[in-house]
Amino acid sequence: MADYSLDSPFESTGTWWLPSDPDRKINGTIRYSEEGARLELDDSFTSIVGPVFGDQSTTFERIDGETALGVPMILFHVHQTGRHMNFGPSGLRQQDRMISSRLLIGHQIPDDARFKKVRFRIPGLQHWLSSPLVQRGIERKENDGSIVFHYRVEGSADESFRLPSIASDVTFTTTWIESRALDPFSCSVASEAWVELCPDEPQPLDWHLKQFATLNYMLSWLSSWSMSPDKIEGINDPHSSVSVLYRFQDRKPNLSPSQIDLFIPRPLLGIELGVALVNWFEIYSKIEDPCRLAISTSGSKELWIHVEFLSWMQALEGLHRSILDGNYMDPKAYEPVKKSLVDAIPNIVEQAHRESLRSRIRYGYQYSLRKRLDELTKRLSEPLRTIILGEGGQFPGSWVETRNYYTHWDVALQPTILEPPKMYEASFRISIFARVLFLQLMGISDEVVIQALGGSCHLAQYLIQLNAREHRKRFPDSTAGALMYVSEASAPIQEVADPDSKEPEV
């Protein structure tokens, strides 16, 4: 079977049919790209009878097909995007256009198919795992002194970890691809890494995709890269597998980071990888929504800075609500307080205003955003808070007031809100703050994070620049962090002629 990856567009002709009517086959062309799978049929599965409206659209749970080369394909969750209608001597002819975010290639499987194992290839995962495969040796021949290079390629052992919360094992595999194996003049070897989910009982494809998303978010927070897969295979037995082309909502194109670009690579976790995995999968169901909001905000490009800033603040509030209490008093104990406050609303207040006040009173037992952020801040050690949030190590009030202004449009707050350049810097610091809070839930210590924030990763380097700039603003005469010191010479420097140089001939 051909190598079907999520980053490799292709086009193929074939025949297509509905599982409910396999005898009625329609010719068509399928085109796959990063936007999904698009199917153009020469006919239609649904005949038009009666009035025709411009907003009519048809959805199919599944369309089966086979290419001209005999490759079985299945489209799931198929939506009609358009229809050509031609009138000729033979009457009305329809041609449908479809789109699907999920395409399976290799076998025709039942609707309720369950997979023993689904594996995901992730570009750059081998760098995060720090599993080098290629070793180079140098030898000098005694007879003529010439140098000989020896290259050794050796795979590493698979690593499997138990995830009790989902009754499954997860396995990390590092292997390689060799090109031109029989070419005596050139050879290249590229390493690649896979993640395999192996549940105790076979599970539907949706289950595997959901669990991988959980793992993908964990790897993204650790690495500072999207860690998106570029190839997916579903396996029921060694001789029966399907390629899965699935359009992940938050997926980024095929990018493979180098080790110096990683925030916290596997050897620097400070705890066993298996422990971090167990911790993350146990907590994820509680933090799924704020985590997804934070991941999508982190991966979105060219967002308006106001939208990015508000999204990060919303993610932090959601995270606090997910893992901490957040109530001034028990909701049941608040009921008589709420009743007293509602009863105290003067009768002169009109009904719409009264309902507005009741709505605010209804949630009066819950923490304010400022208090929620203070509680999240206290989860970090003082040195780490200072590095992330700046001098003082506290969540600045201007950040909260900026959020409140753009949420409630209170003109009284306008003089204190952040201007766009400062809002950009605040958004960056908040993104690091959120990342660290998620890392804590995995069991990553503050000491490990402090070490990472002094590293070569692009996130760490920009934070170092922000803190250095803030330090110089507070202490203008400080030379801390200077790259070099240039002093003025006490006497003119005489050029010294190079004795080996010759004057140009005239």
pLDDT digits 0-9 by tens, 309-356: 999 999 999 999 999 988 888 889 988 988 899 888 898 989 899 888
Q: What is the DSSP letter of 439?
A: H
* Whether residue 182 has pLDDT greater than 50: yes
Residues 6+ away with beta carbon under 8 Å from 173: 119, 158, 193, 194, 195, 196
Tell me what percent of the residues of the chain surpass a pLDDT of 70.
90
* Whether residue 504 has pLDDT greater than 70: no
Tell me what percent of the residues of the chain surpass a pLDDT of 90.
53
Residues 6+ away with beta carbon under 8 Å from 362: 338
* Whether residue 90 has pLDDT greater than 80: no
CA–CA gap between residue 194 and residue 171 (Å, rounded): 8
Contact 468, 475 (CB under 8 A): no
Residues 6+ away with beta carbon under 8 Å from 414: 405
**Considering the chain, what is the average pLDDT of its residues?**
87
Residue with tokens 């295979």: 233
Contact 191, 131 (CB under 8 A): yes
* Whether residue 505 has pLDDT greater than 60: no
Cα separations (Å) of 272 from 156, 279, 408, 452?
A: 18, 11, 45, 17
The tokens for 286 are 């509680």
pLDDT digits 0-9 by tens, 10-32: 999 999 999 999 999 999 999 99
Average pLDDT over residues 243-263: 77
Q: Which range among 53-67, 191-205, 271-285 shows the weakest confidence by mean pLDDT?
A: 53-67
The tokens for 219 are 């790897």
Rg (CA), the chain: 30
Average pLDDT over residues 448-471: 93
Output phi, psi for 447, to 5 deg: -65, -40
Average pLDDT over residues 487-501: 66
CA–CA gap between residue 461 and residue 120 (Å, rounded): 31
Stronger pLDDT, 90 or 155, i.e. the higher one: 155
Stronger pLDDT, 130 or 427, i.e. the higher one: 427
CA–CA gap between residue 29 and residue 23 (Å, rounded): 19
Output phi, psi for 72, to 5 deg: -70, 140
Average pLDDT over residues 53-60: 69
CA–CA gap between residue 80 and residue 323 (Å, rounded): 42
pLDDT digits 0-9 by tens, 28-39: 999 998 888 999
pLDDT digits 0-9 by tens, 399-443: 999 999 999 898 999 999 999 999 999 999 999 999 999 999 999
SS3 labels along 114-181 = CECEEEEECCCHHHHHCCCCEEEEEEECCCCCCEEEEEEECCCCCEEEEEHHHCEEEEEEEEEEEECC
* Whether residue 240 has pLDDT greater than 80: no
The tokens for 165 are 């919360």
* Whether residue 156 has pLDDT greater than 80: no
Direct distance between the N- and C-terminal alpha carbons of the chain, in angstroms, rounded to an integer: 72
pLDDT for 191 equals 83
Residue with tokens 């050509």: 84
pLDDT for 483 equals 75
The dihedral formed by the CA atoms of 448, 453, 457 and 463, expressed in degrees to the nearest 10: 160
Amino acid at site 405 = Y
Among 60, 194, 172, residue whose Cα is nearest residue 121: 194
Residue 142's pLDDT band (boundaries 50, 70, 90)?
A: confident
pLDDT for 207 equals 96
Q: What is the largest CA-CA distance in the chain?
A: 107
* Whether residue 185 has pLDDT greater than 80: no
Among 412, 426, 411, 413, residue whose Cα is nearest residue 466: 426
3-state SS class at 506? coil
Residue 7's pLDDT band (boundaries 50, 70, 90)?
A: confident
Q: Which range among 35-39, 144-148, 234-238, 361-365 shows the weakest confidence by mean pLDDT?
A: 234-238
pLDDT for 252 equals 64
- Which string of DSSP letters, residue by residue, matches 302-330? S--HHHHHHHHHHHHHHHHHHHS--BSS-
Residue 506's pLDDT band (boundaries 50, 70, 90)?
A: very low
- Which string of DSSP letters, residue by residue, matches 370-438? HHHHHHHHTTS-HHHHHHHH-TTSS--HHHHHHHHHHHH--GGGGGGSPPHHHHHHHHHHHHHHHHHHH
Output phi, psi for 132, to 5 deg: -70, 140
Roughly what angle, to the nearest 10 degrees, separates helices 382-389 and 458-474?
Answer: 90
Contact 106, 66 (CB under 8 A): no
3-state SS class at 28? strand
